[in-house]
């Protein structure tokens, strides 16, 4: 894994490995007004596979003051980073005085969530449910049951666009492995029966899940990181912390505002495959911001890029005309689910779907570089890359 970092700062306390350099942000888009620097990572994590790029910075914090010049104690976050959880980079930056125990508690919680909800860990609850598919129900922990139920609810509500039973199709494409490939149509047709969410049965009485057909599996990749963000935020808040940024591989949870009372400034990642940096700035306080985009995970074959969010009806990566969707919401779980749904539905149906979620706002970026905003976010988002334009 090659992870590059800029400007990671703490009060001289534990910070995981980083390369420091003071200066301007090299990812600054052309034409954007100069910013002093970035005070958190603009990490681009690339796994060992040369084909799949896992971009961990979907959204990232842009600090208004430079970490290189220390003005006040509260301007300087105490930051800790972990690379070994949720297959991404997790950065917790706390701007209040905080015991190091907070970080331990947060990382332990995220590890627990991963241990229960991972598709790839053979001992996770989700893997046990898959192992028992076609045989018997599997009782889940309260948290896993809650997440699975949320995922099933949004699956039904979105008419199967979001599909919690998408696991066998994701595996067929090998999109999360070192050897992704384009399956042939016959293989895709064969697998379709196994991604039928109507064959997923939940029982509230014993909090169990039953997958009716052998070979079925649940994939919580579109929601678990969001849930982990909410769980981490709850722990941070329970320690009395009022100003913090939790960045779970680009799923950002902003706690409070900046220590001086102003909003956090979050960069919205340039979604063009092969490019980096950000194309706009979002200002938020006490919100979660989550993006689903083509650039997060993809591979190239025969001159085509294939990304990781699948349309269960075609069996191919979704093609609703979007490069990315960012959702800003009070809940990181909701933002994670909705960003995936909106990406799958496209701008028109996506905006209609979001009407039922009064606290959720969206930034849609189309493949012709137009940006559609829901009304509630218009004053909080500024485009900084002039190749992108606001749809009128």
Helical residues (DSSP H) of 330-391, grouped into ranges: 332-354
158-177 residues in contact with ligand AMP (CB under 6 A) are: 162-163, 166, 170
Task: Using alpha carbons only, give the angle 174, 249, 281 rounded to the nearest 5 degrees.
Answer: 125
Which of 262, 233, 261, 260 lies closest to 247, judged by CA? 233
Cβ 299 to ligand AMP, closest distance in Å? 12
CB–CB of 70/58 below 8 Å?
A: no
Query: In angstroms, what CA-CA distances link 336 with 88, 169, 340, 358?
Result: 15, 20, 7, 15
Contact partner at residue 163 from Mg ion, ligand AMP, none, CB < 5 to 8 Å by partner kind: ligand AMP
Which CB, 15 or 325, lies closer to ligand AMP? 325
Q: How far is the CB of 119 from ligand AMP (least distance, A)?
A: 7
Give the range of 35-43, 78-86, 215-223, 374-382 binding ligand AMP by CB under 6 A: 215-223
Q: Is 310 in the site for ligand AMP (CB under 6 A)?
A: yes
Q: Which helix (H) or strand (E) holds 218?
A: none
Segment 321-360, which members bind Mg ion (CB under 5 A)? 336, 339-340
According to the binding rule CB under 6 A, does residue 308 interact with ligand AMP?
yes
Instruction: Characterize the bridge pairing of strands 251-255 and 244-248.
Output: antiparallel
Q: How many residues bind ligand AMP (CB under 6 A)?
A: 18
Residue 37 or 340 having the CB closest to Mg ion: 340
Contact 341, 156 (CB under 8 A): no
Contact 77, 245 (CB under 8 A): yes
Q: How far is the C-alpha of 199 from the C-alpha of 137, rounded, in Å?
A: 12
3 state DSSP class of 335: helix
Looking at the Cβ atoms of 105 and 330, the one nearer to ligand AMP is: 330
Contact of residue 162 among Mg ion, ligand AMP, none (CB under 5-8 Å per partner type): ligand AMP
Query: In this structure, are residues 288 and 253 in contact, taking their beta carbons and an 8 Å threshold?
Result: yes
Q: Site residues for ligand AMP, window 326-385 (CB under 6 A)?
A: 336, 339-340, 344
Q: How far is the CB of 223 from ligand AMP (least distance, A)?
A: 7
CB-wise, 296 or 361, nearer to ligand AMP? 296
Least distance from ligand AMP to the Cβ atom of residue 295, Å? 11
Q: Which is nearer to ligand AMP, 66 or 309 (CB)?
A: 309
Residue whose beta carbon is closest to ligand AMP: 221
Q: How far is the CB of 58 from ligand AMP (least distance, A)?
A: 8
The residues with which 211 forms a beta bridge, in sequence order, are 200
Compute the least distance from the CB of residue 20 to ligand AMP, in Å: 30
Residues of span 217-246 touching ligand AMP by CB under 6 A:
219, 221-222
Binding positions for Mg ion, 204-233, rule CB under 5 A: 222
The span from the CA of 323 to the CA of 318, in Å, is: 10
Phi, psi (rounded to 5 degrees) for 249: 55, 40
Question: Which of Mg ion, ligand AMP, none does residue 75 bind (CB under 5 to 8 Å by kind)?
Answer: none
CA–CA dist 187, 189 (Å, integer):
5
Residue among 287 and 308 whose Cβ is closer to ligand AMP: 308
Tokens 């989700």 found at: 126
Distances (CA, A) of 133 to 118, 150, 193, 211, 224: 16, 20, 13, 5, 21
CA-to-CA distance for 381 and 343, rounded, in angstroms?
Answer: 19
| Contact residues: Mg ion, CB under 5 A | 222, 336, 339-340
| Contact residues: ligand AMP, CB under 6 A | 162-163, 166, 170, 219, 221-222, 292, 296-297, 308-310, 312, 336, 339-340, 344
């Amino acid at each position: 894994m090659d992870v590059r970092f800029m400007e990671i700062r703490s009060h001289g306390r534990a910070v995981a490995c980083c390369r420091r350099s003071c200066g301007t942000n090299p990812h600054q888009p052309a034409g954007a007004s100069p910013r002093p620097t970035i005070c958190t990572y603009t990490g681009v994590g690339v796994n060992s596979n040369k084909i799949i790029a896992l971009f961990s910075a979907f959204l990232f914090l842009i600090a208004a003051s430079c970490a290189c010049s220390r003005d006040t104690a509260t301007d300087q976050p105490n930051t800790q980073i972990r690379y070994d959880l949720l297959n991404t980079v997790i950065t917790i930056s706390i701007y209040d005085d905080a015991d190091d125990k907070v970080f331990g508690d947060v990382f332990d919680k995220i590890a627990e969530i991963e241990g229960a909800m991972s598709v790839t860990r053979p001992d996770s609850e989700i893997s046990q449910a898959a192992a028992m598919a076609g045989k018997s129900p599997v009782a889940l922990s309260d948290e896993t049951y809650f997440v699975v139920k949320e995922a099933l609810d949004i699956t039904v509500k979105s008419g199967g666009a979001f599909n919690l039973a998408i696991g066998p199709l994701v595996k067929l494409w090998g999109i999360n492995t070192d050897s992704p490939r384009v399956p042939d149509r016959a293989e895709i047709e064969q697998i379709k029966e196994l991604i039928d969410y109507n064959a997923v049965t939940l029982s509230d009485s014993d909090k169990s899940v039953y997958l009716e057909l052998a070979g079925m599996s649940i994939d919580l990749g579109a929601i678990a990181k969001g849930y982990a963000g909410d769980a981490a935020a709850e722990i941070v808040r329970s320690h009395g912390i009022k100003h913090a940024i939790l960045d779970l591989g680009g799923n950002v949870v902003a706690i409070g505002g900046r220590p001086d009372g102003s909003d956090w400034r979050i960069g919205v990642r340039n979604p063009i495959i092969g490019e980096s940096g950000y194309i706009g700035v979002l200002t938020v306080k006490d919100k979660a911001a989550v993006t689903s985009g083509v650039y997060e995970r993809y591979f190239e074959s025969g001159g085509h890029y294939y990304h990781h969010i699948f349309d269960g009806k075609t069996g191919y990566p979704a093609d609703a005309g979007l490069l990315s969707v960012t959702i800003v919401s009070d809940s990181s779980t909701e933002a994670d689910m909705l960003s995936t749904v909106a990406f799958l539905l496209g701008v028109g149906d996506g905006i209609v779907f979001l009407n039922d979620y009064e606290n959720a706002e969206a930034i849609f970026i189309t493949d012709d570089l137009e940006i559609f905003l829901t009304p509630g976010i218009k004053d909080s988002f500024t485009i900084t890359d002039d190749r992108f334009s606001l749809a009128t």
